[in-house]
C-alpha cells in the first residue's frame, strides 16, 4: 500500500517500496496560478534532501521544487514538457514531477501526514 507524505515546501511524495513519486500539492498549484513551464533535473541524477530538483513557472512567478528525500532521480514526467498545465489540472496524479529511488528512508520521518499538512496550510493562510 502506498503512503503519502508532505513537506513544508508543499511537495508531496507517495512511497511504494523504495521509490517515491513527487509532485506539488493542490494548495501549491493554486498559489502559483496557471503553470506555463516545468523544468526537471535529468534522470539518474543523485540529489540530497531539500535540494532543488525542478522549477515550475506560472503566469505569476517561478517556484523551485525541492526533493523531500535523498536519492537518485529515476524518472521525470516527460508529459510536463509539452503540457506543464497538467500540474494545475491534476497535481496529485498525472501532474507528478519526478520519481526518486530513496537512499535514506529515515528522512521520511521529517515529513507530515495529510492531517498535519492540512493544519500547516491553515496556519499559513
Examine the pLDDT at 69 and tell me if it is beyond 80.
yes
What's the mean pLDDT in 40-59? 93
How confident is the prediction for the chain on average, in pLDDT? Answer: 95
Examine the pLDDT at 1 and tell me if it is beyond 80.
no
Read off the pTM: 0.95
Fold observed for domain 3-107: OB fold (Dihydrolipoamide Acetyltransferase, E2P) (2.40.50)
Contacts of 27 (CB under 8 A, 6+ apart): 10, 121
Domain boundaries, the chain: 3-107
Residue located via cell numbers 508531496: 12
- Residue 57: pLDDT band with limits 50, 70, 90: very high
- Residue 122: pLDDT band with limits 50, 70, 90: very high
What's the mean pLDDT in 99-110? 97
Amino acid at each position: 500500500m502506498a503512503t503519502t507524505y508532505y513537506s513544508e515546501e508543499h511537495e508531496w511524495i507517495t512511497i511504494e517500496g523504495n521509490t517515491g513519486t513527487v509532485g506539488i500539492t493542490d494548495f501549491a498549484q493554486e498559489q502559483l496560478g496557471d503553470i506555463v513551464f516545468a523544468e526537471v533535473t535529468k534522470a539518474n541524477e543523485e540529489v540530497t534532501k531539500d535540494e532543488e530538483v525542478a522549477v515550475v513557472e506560472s503566469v505569476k512567478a517561478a517556484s523551485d521544487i525541492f526533493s523531500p528525500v535523498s536519492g537518485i532521480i529515476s524518472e521525470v514526467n516527460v508529459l510536463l514538457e509539452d503540457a506543464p498545465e497538467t500540474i494545475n489540472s491534476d497535481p496529485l496524479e498525472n501532474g507528478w514531477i519526478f520519481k526518486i529511488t530513496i537512499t535514506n528512508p529515515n528522512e521520511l520521518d521529517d515529513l507530515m501526514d495529510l492531517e498535519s499538512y492540512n493544519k500547516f496550510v491553515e496556519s499559513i493562510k
